[in-house]
Amino acid sequence: MTSASVIPEVVRSEILSRLARAEREHGVRVLLAVESGSRAWGFASPNSDYDARFIYAHDSDWYLSVDVEDKRDVIEYPIIDDIDLNGWDVRKALRLFAGSNPAFVEWIQSPIIYLESGGFAASVRTLLPTVYSTERGIHHYRSMAKSNYRGYLKTELVPLKKYFYVLRPLLSVRWIERHGKPAPIEFEKLLHLVGGQPKLVADIRSLLERKRAAPEMGLEPPVASVHAFIEQELERIESVQPQSSPEPDASSLNVVFRAALSGA
C-alpha cells in the first residue's frame, strides 16, 4: 500500500506543504511523516480525518542546554480541512520508543508514508524487534479492547468504527502471542488470525465494507457472531501471561539520536 493509493493527491500535497511550514516556523527538520489511525489501519470512513504524525529534530545546539527538559517537545496544529497534524521531537520519540510506546511503534510501521528524510526511519524499524516489549504490547492491546468493548459495544445500537477498535487489538494480541513481535497495523494482515471460522470472517468482512461506506459515527444493531467472538476472546486473553522483555540497550538509541541530529 502506498500513500498515493489511499490519500488523494490534493490532500497529500497539502500535508507536505504544512510539514514544510512547520519546519520553517519551528526551525526543525522533519525526519518521518506518516498517516496514523483508521486510514493506516484500513477501515477509514468517507469522512474520517487525516491523522498525519511526524518526528522532527532541532539543530544540535537546541539540545545542549541546562533547561532542555523544560523545552516544548511537541508541535501541534488545530484540525483544519479534516487534517490533524502534530509531531514529536526525536528525543521524546526515542525515549518513548524505549518503553515500547504503542503510538510510536505503530507510526514507524504505517503503510502510508508522506516523507522520510535521512536514515532515522530505517534505523528505528531495524531496532524494533530488539526494542519492542511483547509484554507491554499485549497489555496495551488488551486494555484497548476491553475499554472500547465496555464503552461502546454494550448498547442497542453500536458505532461501526468501535467494532474495529476492539477487533484489531484482539487480533494484535493473537499476533504477538504467535509471533513474539509487534503486530502489523493493517487490519487485513490480522484477519486471518480468526482462523477456521469462515462464517465469522465473512461477517467481519461485511461489517468492514459497511464501515468503509458509512459516516464516521454510523450505527447498527449488534452483529451476534462478532459479539460472541469478542466476548470469548476478551475472556481468553485475561489469562494470557506474556514473558517479560529485557530493557532495550540505550546505546543503540543514542546512536540513532546522534545520527538524526547530524542529518545522517
pLDDT digits (tens, 9 = 90+) for 83-133: 999 999 999 999 999 999 999 999 999 999 999 999 999 999 999 999 999
Look at 241 and 212; give whichever has higher pLDDT: 212
Indicate if the pLDDT at residue 24 is higher than 90: yes
Residues 144-195 have pLDDT tens digits of 999 999 999 999 999 999 999 999 999 999 999 999 999 999 999 999 999 8
What would the grid cell of residue 203 be? 461477517
Predicted local distance difference test score (pLDDT) of residue 2: 39
Question: Angle 120-131/90-98 helices, nearest 10 degrees?
Answer: 20
C-alpha cell at 206: 461485511
Which residues make beta-bridge pairs with 220?
158
Instruction: Using DSSP, state whether 37 is helix, strand or coil.
Output: coil
Which residue bears the cell 532542555? 68
Q: What are phi and psi of 108, to 5 degrees?
A: -75, -10
Q: Do the beta carbons of residue 169 and residue 144 sit within 8 Å?
A: yes
pLDDT of residue 115: 98
Put simply, whether the predicted model's pTM sits higher than 0.95 gets the answer: no
Question: What pLDDT shows up at residue 218?
Answer: 81
pLDDT band, very low/low/confident/very high, at 59 (cuts 50, 70, 90): very high
Residue extents of the structural domains in the chain? 3-132+247-262, 134-237
Mean pLDDT of 27-53: 95
CB 164 within 8 A of CB 37: no
pLDDT exceeds 60 at position 4 = no
Superfamily for the 3-132+247-262 domain: Beta Polymerase, domain 2 (3.30.460.10)
Question: Using CB atoms within 10 A of its CB, is residue 86 exposed (0-12), middle (13-18) or buried (19+)?
Answer: middle
Q: Is the pLDDT of residue 15 over 90?
A: yes
Which residue in the block uniquely carries the three cell numbers 503503510? Answer: 111
- The pLDDT, as a whole number, for residue 243 is 74
Nearest CA-CA partner of 55 in 11, 104, 17, 112: 104
pLDDT score of 182: 96
pLDDT above 50 for 142: yes
What average pLDDT score do residues 22-43 get?
Answer: 97
Please, are residues 171 and 154 in contact by the beta-carbon 8 Å criterion? no
The span from the CA of 142 to the CA of 171, in Å, is 10
- Measured at the CA of 109, the angle between CA 41 and CA 237, to 5 degrees, comes to 65
Check if the beta carbon of residue 109 is closer than 8 Å to that of residue 74.
Answer: no
User: What's the pLDDT score for residue 101?
Assistant: 97
Residue 165's alpha-carbon distances to 44, 51, 83, 117, 151, in angstroms, are: 12, 16, 21, 31, 11
Tell me which residue has cell 458505532. 159
What pLDDT, in 10s, does the model give residues 213-263? 888 778 999 999 999 999 999 999 998 887 777 778 889 999 999 999 998
Taking residues 4-25, report their average pLDDT: 92
Give the pLDDT score at 48: 92
